[in-house]
Amino acid sequence: MFNRRWLPILVAISTVTACSVLCAQKAAPVNNEQALHIDIPTKLDKANVVIDFGHLVFGGDMPFALGDIHLLASDFRDWNTKGQIIVVFHGDAAYLVLNDDSYNTNRRVTTGNPYKGFIAELMQQGVQIELCGATAKGNHWVNANLLPGVKVNVNAMVRLTQLEQDGYTMIYQ
């Protein structure tokens, strides 16, 4: 069996080995041949964008579109872009805007909504978050089921059509 007096020695050896391996793994030096060169620099001075978020695609445990939307909102902020970003949630992506209790009930979990922080951060960056009213009705959700600040529209199809007619650029997610 294992003798307890060897435990500190094994921990020390493991620590030294791990540190040696980590210290040996230096990042390759970046030179001009390895650096990414942007061939088409782009900056938006003015833009109104609506994101049609009706289908979930995951990168690991994170809905891929949330990263895209965060990147766009950060670009708007960094460039002082005049305009608005609106995200219309519907279909199988709609549950991302539910509060913890409703999320737990609908997803049959006890974790609460793991995406609520990302949604709140987007709203803090000025992104308007909307839920399709038809999706809400179909799931028997009311405003009390939603995260604070989420707005409800009549239905996604009508809202997306309206915004596109108003000159918004449509992005499908």
Residue 150 identity (one-letter amino acid): V
pLDDT tops 70 at residue 21: no
Distance set, CA 46 to CA 66, 75, 82, 83, 148 (Å) = 22, 12, 5, 6, 28
Bridge partners of 171, per DSSP, are 51
Query: The CATH number of 46-172 is which of 3.40.50.10480, 3.40.50.460, 3.40.50.1370, 3.40.1260.10?
Result: 3.40.1260.10
- Domain-wise residue ranges, the chain: 46-172
Instruction: Tell me the per-residue pLDDT of 73-103, one tens digit each, with 9 for 90 and over.
Output: 999 999 999 999 999 999 999 999 999 999 9
pTM: 0.79
